[in-house]
Amino acid sequence: MKLTADFLVIGTGIAGLSYALKVAEKGSVLLVTKRQIDFTATRLAQGGIAAVSSVDGDFTSHAEDTMVAGADLSDPEIVDLAIGMGPKVIEDLLNWGVEFSRNDQNKYDLAREGGHSHRRIFHAKDATGREIERALVAAVDKHPSIQILENHIAIDLITEVINQQQTDEKRCLGAYVLDIEAQEVITIGAHFTVLATGGAGKVYLFTCNPDVATGDGVAIAWRAGAAVANMEFMQFHPTTLYHPNAKSFLISEAVRGEGAILRRSDGTAFMADQHPLKDLAPRDIVARAIDHQMKKYGDDCVFLDITHKGAEYIQERFPTIYETCLGYGIDMTTEPIPVVPAAHYICGGVQVDCHGESGVNNLFAIGECACTGLHGANRLASNSLLEGVAFAELAAQTSLKRLASSQVEFPSIAPWDSGNATDSDEEVIVAHNWEEIRRCMWSYVGIVRTTKRLNRALNRIQLIQKEIIEYYWDFHITSDLIELRNIATVAELIVKSALQRKESRGLHFTLDFPERDDLNCKHDTIIPGASPAPKQ
């Protein structure tokens, strides 16, 4: 089957849905998503969206906090651009019907999280992402120009070389997409392809990301020839619920923003001597401090204590966290919550310019799968939702400007060729390799790294990669196999980037180079796109 659209958007979190809504007045949009439309990381976001919301607000301190959290690797121009768009982003979300929490004076109740010097986070109690996703899904659902393809997973991008002299100059023409239920590959031709596929937490054994976070956008863009940047900066959220059945449920940083204290099992608070902001230090510092405490005292977790705020306040401000913890037998109003760090957000991704466009023409990447320059070596809490809408706007403006003159025709695109592939009778290989990559990444490429551990991880992953490639061409593709191929690619990109950074900065901490080295290393880590792109 072959479909065409003006805009192909892959991913349906805040970035993809915002982009779709912004361009749908001017052209046809195909929205592709691996599961149901709202099965996204956005829906799980608790804390909120950091934004200075009025034109005379304090943009300077938000920019400074972003630069400090990013360990001076953020691009100052991009920081000013994204943070300056705060008023427009909040206005867009309100226009789409998002309802943020208000205080007793009926003003927006602004929260604070780690690394923020001021209260500037718009939230909907402790389920901000759920509210945003609800409103945006309702808006796209009723838009006549937007067609939604659920249970469809992108396999690879379709590109053509546009300059024979400069053979690496390419244009994106769409993507091959697997209809998971029908097991049929669809060829989609589009003037503009937008990757909004979210993060890659599933590359690690422990993550608070949803199951769909397999780094698909980064992997397919890289295979199509787009460079990726700063992949070594995986953010570990300091506080996810430690419980055998909880699947790393997030305990929002907003809980610390409202005064919660991290303690060891004997009750000792340990953040006071780590950073002037104590429990509200940037995430890399808090996650490392927890890791250190657990290793030093041989504990399985540390504890987050907000009991001093009283039951009524806690139940009203954090209803989702309260109910979820209670479901696991933990009453956070009377006892501290057991917590551990888990993979949460990748600051690197497809390298894009200030319009969200990658190195492949007409291929945009927005949201977590992109590296815009905003987050540097460590993302400031709640800046991600802001970035998602801001770059959706910038990408939409650029693609709309170009749409009128777009001359691309799609009949020449070759349909998917499955060659001599047969059905596999060895699905166990996929499950086994998946588990091995995630365990290896957790053990060797986690919060504290060494060159030896990274090399060990690289050897293992490259062996697994060989097996996957063989398997990939021999058997009919399934969504599990596509995701496995993507997590293996992303894992390798993370390790290779980490090996390149011979210093410790932000989220990359290595015992072999424990200091920051501004003289030699204050630059992004770039890995050029695969060349030539693998078959198909």
Backbone angles phi, psi at 271, to 5 degrees: -90, -15
Nearest to 197 by CA among 397, 1, 19, 380: 19
Q: Given the complex with ligand SIN, which of 225 and 373 has the nearer CB atom?
A: 373
Q: Given the complex with ligand SIN, which of 47 and 367 has the nearer CB atom?
A: 47
Q: Which two tokens stand for residue 511?
A: 């015992």
Strand order in the sheet with 228-229: 370-371, 349-351, 228-229, 526-527
Q: How far is the CB of 79 from ligand SIN (least distance, A)?
A: 16
Query: How many CA atoms, within 13 angstroms, populate the side-chain half-sphere of residue 52?
Result: 23
Q: Which two tokens stand for residue 336?
A: 């501290």
Q: How far is the CB of 310 from ligand SIN (least distance, A)?
A: 21
Determine contact, residues 155/482, Cβ cutoff 8 Å. yes
Residues 526 and 438: their CA atoms lie apart, in Å, by 23
Crossing angle of the two packed helices 76-84 and 59-69, in degrees rounded to 10: 140
Q: Given the complex with ligand SIN, which of 29 and 85 has the nearer CB atom?
A: 85
**From 283, 379, 449, 485, the catalytic residue:** 283
Determine contact, residues 255/46, Cβ cutoff 8 Å. no
Tokens 């900065």 map to which residue? Answer: 505
Question: DSSP letters of 314-342?
Answer: HHHH-HHHHHHHHHTT--TTTSPEEEEEE
Q: How far is the CB of 427 from ligand SIN (least distance, A)?
A: 34
Q: Given the complex with ligand SIN, which of 83 and 381 has the nearer CB atom?
A: 381
Nearest to 197 by CA among 68, 14, 447, 378: 14
Instruction: Report the residue number whose CB is nearest to ligand SIN.
Output: 47
402 is catalytic: no
Q: How far is the CB of 254 from ligand SIN (least distance, A)?
A: 6
Q: How far is the CB of 235 from ligand SIN (least distance, A)?
A: 8
Q: How far is the CB of 62 from ligand SIN (least distance, A)?
A: 14
Cis peptide before 238 (omega within 30 of 0): no
Q: Indicate the burial class of 105 (C-beta count within 10 angstroms; 0-12, 13-18, 19 or more).
A: exposed
Determine contact, residues 313/305, Cβ cutoff 8 Å. no
Q: How far is the CB of 47 from ligand SIN (least distance, A)?
A: 3
Q: Contact residues for ligand SIN (CB under 6 A)?
A: 46-47, 252-254, 345, 381-382, 384
Q: Given the complex with ligand SIN, which of 116 and 243 has the nearer CB atom?
A: 116
Q: Which two tokens stand for residue 334?
A: 């009377």
Q: How far is the CB of 120 from ligand SIN (least distance, A)?
A: 13
Q: Given the complex with ligand SIN, which of 32 and 121 has the nearer CB atom?
A: 121
Q: Given the complex with ligand SIN, which of 253 and 284 has the nearer CB atom?
A: 253
What are the residues whose beta carbons fall under 8 Å from the beta carbon of 291, sequence distance 6 or more? 341, 447, 448
Q: Given the complex with ligand SIN, which of 133 and 253 has the nearer CB atom?
A: 253
Longest dimension (CA), the chain: 69
Query: How many CA atoms, within 13 angstroms, populate the side-chain half-sphere of residue 220?
Result: 30
**Catalytic residue annotation:** 283
